[in-house]
Amino acid sequence: MVNAPNFLISHPNYFIMSEYKPQEIEKKWQKIWKDNQTFKTEFPSKKPKYYVLDMFPYPSGAGLHVGHPLGYIATDIVARYKRLKGYNVLHPMGYDSFGLPAEQYAVQTGQHPAITTENNIARYHEQLDNIGFSYDWSREVRTSNPDFYKWTQWIFVKIFNHWYNKESDKAEPIETLYKKFSENGNVKVKAVCDENTEPFSAQEWNAFSEEQKHEISLKYRLAYLSNTFVNWCPGLGTVLANEEVKDGVSERGGFPVERKEMAQWSMRITAYAERLLKDLDGLDWSDSIKEQQRYWIGKSKGCMLTFQIADLPSFKNLEGLNTPPLTPPQGEGNTISVFTTRVDTIYGVTYLTLAPEHELVDKITTPEQKAKVNAYVHYAKNKSELDRQADVKTVTGEFTGAYAINPLNNALIPIWIGEYVLAGYGTGAVMAVPSSDTRDYAFAKHFNLPIINVQEGEKTDITKEDFDPKAGTMINSDFLNGMDVKSALDAMTKRVEELGVGYGKVNYKIRDSIFSRQRYWGEPIPVYFKNGLPYTLDESQLPLELPKIDEYKPTANGEPPLARAKNWVASSPPLGEGFGEGLGEGSNSQLQNANLPSWQTTDAIKWKAIKEKARELRKNQTDAEQTLWYALRGEQLGVKFRRQQVIDVFIADFVNLNTKLIIEVDGGIHLDSDVKKYDEYRTEVLQNLGYTVVRFTNEEVENHLDRVIEKIRNKISELPKLNPTFANSQKTPPLTNSASISQNHLGEGKYPLETSTMPGWAGSSWYFLRYMDAKNESEFASKDALDYWQDVDLYLGGSEHATGHLLYSRFWHKFLYDLGYVKTKEYAKKLINQGMIQGVSAFFRVVGSGLNYKRDINDELPDDIDRPVYIVSYGLQNNEYIDLIKQDLLKRNPKIAESNLEFNISFGIHRIDITNVDIDNSIDINEIVDFLERNEIKGEKILISKIPNRYICNREVEKMSKSKLNVVNPDDVVSKYGADTLRMFEMFLGPLELSKPWSTSSISGVSRFLRNVWKMFYDESGKLLLTDEAPNDKELKVLHKTIKKVEEDIERFSFNTSVSTFMVCVNELSDLKCHKRTILSDFLIILAPYAPHIAEELWEAMGNKNGISYAIFPKYDEKYLVESSFEYPISINGKVRHKMNFPANMDLKEVENQALASAEIIKWLEGKAPKKVIVVPNKIVNVVL
RNA sequence: GCGGCUGUGGCGAAAUUGGCAGACGCACUAGACUUAGGAUCUAGCGGGCAACCAUGGGGGUUCAAGUCCCUCCAGCCGCACCA
């Protein structure tokens, strides 16, 4: 552009100075900001603070699409605005850089996830820089950096070393618990702990060895290791948190998830349930998020009730219900605990229902019912989570034969089991009141159980649509009769407490969160094992860095990847805590399994269970299995097979142990893709164990047995034979104790380290604190920094983290609050969830293979017909293209007579990448032809369209994603229109919280607006137009109303409306031909947060030496906005009929009189006197007739 | 089924406390300039010839309702046998 030829000078495009060239000025200012560290946060500072934060991004390989920066732009506007307002702004960015995708990639390619992550971050960073964000990059953090995760581990150690004291209602150091135990034992201690904690006295405690004490303390610590049922995902090879499982499959990847008992680290978030719930009230977060969290915590107030189980022999003859027993039976420990929120309905209880897994089921079932109950329990236990969720409507259950006694009226009530009762909630048992609970009602109806109404009045009929369980007054309920539900609840709670058969209790749905993942790319858990018990490393030993390993998959034994590390051991443990001499046997120990690092699943019991399962399967062979078994036995293959042999945690159908050949027969159900994935995973693990897996379908075995045997024979001959000792070794559990393996290369005084890592949410639970003092090497953040920055003033991100990150981070923050590190109970005052930007996918349709021409209904045209692929543009009427196709076909195939040609057209609809689709939805036909060729759709292609060589696509709004070919890359938008246009346009699209589709066509309006801004400063010849004239009232009014509106808009996060306001302002100033310095100077400052580059450029052009980023936001002055007159709309009966101009301060009576006197209004009055006249000052006049 | 959010022109939307519905922008139409236009400028643009009718449907409160109340419907998101 430097030496433009003279004759082109007159062409507007070639005036360099006059034209707004975003690409040049944006790069220029981004460099200046970087070089001058313009946005480096000052600390310490006397200014008031403002902390504005974006949710921690995971740097994915796909890079940003235009939806991602939406929130970043909004926060950047706020950050820049607050700087102009004189605040010291903390506006940082960093990366949640541990995570599954990088690890999956590592597993596949062997590339270290750190490298993948680094590359992705570099790309992410570049894309962010393109948009001109004002982040203080000197505070960037990455969760995968050891200097960051050192502190994540440090917090973990703190959590491990604290317990929750319900009396002080906060976390306290474990030492205070030890002290309480040594003084009083554990009975009086009000602590949040495991359910099954055994009571002990001070004497007993003091007699325990250090190790026994440590073991007991694990039941109290806020981070603990225990055997729990977890969501095990074989496809991902790890456990998942509850909120990472959706509809029975993993949220990431969609792999099936099964319930499995494993030793796992957990966080005792339940201790904080009440505070997490209560403090929601004070938060300025969206209702939706708060509701989701409330629901997740799931507080219910109710009553714990004890039902005695009737001593059966003495009641054997009592069949009828409500027959008072002669003497209340006093069975020892024969009680069922029930949690109910409706203790007021206790007179309506007609049966109890236990979860099939309930521990008492076995004990109470009568011999007569045993078979049925066992069958039912078996059925329920084998039902997967997915199946259970799928059919909630089918009522199933079984009578145990046992009875319980209603503690209020001594009525005998039958005890049932039913899968609608969840083992994990409450006590796993419910008192069923079919008249007041719809599930109980359904169950009672289905099994013909009695129903006693205990409420009467409106809406109390459970069979009716409008049933309200809490409506009406109590009946059939003794002393409760006549009370409403609320008072009955209170009265009955009081009564059961007096009777000693129950007590009021608050129940929470939230579970402790599983904290370990069997993965490599996460924070190592800073724990080592000594004599099977977990101890945390000393602070001085942190960070515990991720070791180098050769591969990123689980080991052959199914251990987490970290078990591959050489020397994954702690050197001599810290002194002091928990290292007595005594090696307590811990015979009753729940934690025998804690002998093993937490991945370990196969304890003796488990092993036995698998063996039993195998035996069972052996008895119930499928036909195909039976056939193959006889063939394998009968054929002289030279090797011996075993069937249903346990290998690792799997049961292989047929195994030859000498060649390590496994033959699997699947029942045809394995066509399902999920099962297939699981099979592949299973095969992979078995291969890692050195096995060869061959798979046949039932069909193959039953119909082509000879071929199957032939294949097996060939396989066997290929495989080397092993010596028999190996085969024998399979008799012992194959999952070896990893601790003992690791012991092999332990030095003296060395202990094996935990091999699982922390979950994705660990780092993000506190990163916002690290930004306050990101470089601190001696603390996670200094006290000064924490005291000054306090909390996040504005937090912006997607709503998908409602019950994950947003709950866990609140939990950790409260923990740090208890310890006195932070001063705020909540870390984010205001939370906004930005909406999604959707993509607008493009589709085209072809009539090709899907085309049917019929001479008559039963007769299709022969295949040799000349039948091209018709690409039929949208926007054509049916008759238009059908005729065209008809004519064309007849021309090509003269032998077809038109009269017997019948059309039955079906389209093939395909997506096409939106990159080349034009604003008018048209696309070059060659793009479509190329697409069809690539997808091997053969034949001559014919375009049917109104526009030559262009096809009009169909558009549909969908989620923006690569697979839908509708992604818009912000880099492309920036290079075409500039970052300022992108920023303003994203805001202009609509309210921040709402989802809205990206619209490429309307971006031109915003682009034009910025050029109009430029034109207020420069004329066409590139001459500055600024004048020093004093502004007039009109100009001042335009400016000040804009200042006022923009300020209000930013304060209420309504960014779309301020873009409109800017447009109005520029339109009006242009109409006024205003080029006055004072006006434009202020205008630039208020525009700067939205369009910082152009604002800086023009600000500099005005002669300002300092950048605009720290200018002072102009203060609007009400006096410029005052109108001297107001144009009143005069309405008759609410409809505007006329307008009249009156002085703004005119007396209301006078306004009324003049309005009524006007010719226009007299006409409308038609001689009648108005009933009433309302005059709202400077708003409206309404005449009521 | 339960909970939350959202329904306004052809499209994105505005109307902050009940007071002139549709600001601002896109698309569209006509015109100007131009060798040219996917550039720029000017004008028009909810429907209806009009009276009038229009903020998802119906009802209500009010002098006045997109806004408040009741009720129904649709879409999106979340939860889902929670005793």
Q: Are residues A366 and A441 in the same domain?
A: yes
pLDDT in tens, A447-466: 999 999 999 887 888 887 77
- What does the pLDDT read at residue A479? 93
* Coil, helix or strand at residue A1149: helix
d(CA A138, CA A33): 13
**A1003-1017 vs A1092-1101: helix axis angle to the nearest 10?**
10
* CATH assignment of the domain containing A1088: 1.10.730.10
Q: Which residues contact A977 (CB under 8 A, 6 or more apart)?
A: A22, A985, A1003, A1006, A1007
Write the DSSP string, A1058-1123. HHHHHHHHHHHHHHTT--BHHHHHHHHHHHTTTSHHHHHHHHHHTT-SS-GGGS-PPPP-HHHH--
d(CA A1143, CA A1151): 9
Domain final residue, candidates A1098, A1121, A1144: A1121
Domain final residue, candidates A508, A533, A551: A508
Q: Are residues A620 and A695 in the same domain?
A: yes
Which two three-digit tokens encode residue A214? Answer: 């440590």
* Coil, helix or strand at residue A1166: coil
Q: Are residues A706 and A723 in the same domain?
A: yes
> Considering only CA atoms, which residue is closest to the C1' of nucleotide B13?
A990
Does the residue A483 lie in any domain? yes
- What does the pLDDT read at residue A141? 96
Chain B nucleotides reached by a protein CB under 7 Å: 3-6, 11-16, 19-21, 23-28, 36, 38-41, 63-65, 76-83
Q: Residue with structure tokens 């159900």? A: A669
Identify the bridge partners of residue A753 per DSSP, sorted by sequence position. A528
- What does the pLDDT read at residue A1035? 92
Which two three-digit tokens encode residue A364? Answer: 């109470």
**A22-58 core/surface letters (b: 16 or more CB in 10 A; e: else):** beebbeebbeebeeeebbebebeeeeebbbbbbbbbb
**A287-297 vs A805-818: helix axis angle to the nearest 10?**
70
C-beta separation of A825 from A811 below 8 A: no
Q: How far in angstroms lies nucleotide B76's C1' from the CA of residue A33?
A: 41
- Tell me which residue range forms the domain holding A611: 604-734
C-beta separation of A762 from A519 below 8 A: no
Domain final residue, candidates A1100, A1121, A1142: A1121
Helix ranges (DSSP H) in A237-396: 273-278, 287-297, 312-315, 361-364, 370-381, 385-390
* CATH assignment of the domain containing A822: 3.40.50.620
pLDDT in tens, A1102-1124: 999 999 998 999 999 988 888 78
Residue type, A1012: N
Q: Are residues A885 and A771 in the same domain?
A: no
Q: How far in angstroms lies nucleotide B4's C1' from the CA of residue A839?
A: 24
Q: How far in angstroms lies nucleotide B28's C1' from the CA of residue A485?
A: 63
Does the residue A596 lie in any domain? no
d(CA A615, CA A831): 56
Nucleotide nearest to A1066 (CA to C1'): B24
Q: Which residues contact A282 (CB under 8 A, 6 or more apart)?
A: A826
- What does the pLDDT read at residue A196? 74
Does the residue A174 lie in any domain? no
Does the residue A388 lie in any domain? yes
Pick from A445, A476, A509, A506: nearest CA to A344: A476
Q: Are residues A872 and A936 in the same domain?
A: yes
Q: Are residues A1114 and A1129 in the same domain?
A: no
d(CA A1061, CA A1057): 6
* CATH assignment of the domain containing A1165: 3.10.20.590
Does the residue A116 lie in any domain? yes
pLDDT in tens, A485-533: 889 999 999 999 999 999 999 999 998 988 988 889 999 999 999 888 8
Residue type, A635: E
Q: Are residues A790 and A879 in the same domain?
A: no
Q: How far in angstroms lies nucleotide B12's C1' from the CA of residue A97?
A: 35
Does the residue A1156 lie in any domain? yes
* CATH assignment of the domain containing A348: 3.90.740.10
Q: Are residues A862 and A894 in the same domain?
A: yes
**A113-130 vs A100-109: helix axis angle to the nearest 10?**
130
- What does the pLDDT read at residue A51? 97
Q: Are residues A690 and A776 in the same domain?
A: no
C-beta separation of A494 from A479 below 8 A: no
Nucleotide nearest to A1131 (CA to C1'): B20
Q: Are residues A980 and A872 in the same domain?
A: no
- What does the pLDDT read at residue A898? 60
Q: How far in angstroms lies nucleotide B12's C1' from the CA of residue A1042?
A: 22
Q: How far in angstroms lies nucleotide B63's C1' from the CA of residue A1153?
A: 17
In total, how many domains does chain A have? Answer: 6
- What does the pLDDT read at residue A673? 62
* CATH assignment of the domain containing A618: 3.40.960.10
Does the residue A578 lie in any domain? no
Q: Are residues A667 and A764 in the same domain?
A: no
**What is the layout of strands, in order, in the sheet containing A859-860?**
A859-860, A851-856, A902-905
- What does the pLDDT read at residue A864? 67
Pick from A737, A703, A491: nearest CA to A598: A737
Does the residue A331 lie in any domain? yes
Q: Which residues contact A801 (CB under 8 A, 6 or more apart)?
A: A55
Identify the bridge partners of residue A831 per DSSP, sorted by sequence position. A795
Point out the residues of chain A with pLDDT beneath 50: 1-17, 313-332, 574-607, 668-669, 723-746
Nucleotide nearest to A343 (CA to C1'): B83
Q: Are residues A730 and A844 in the same domain?
A: no
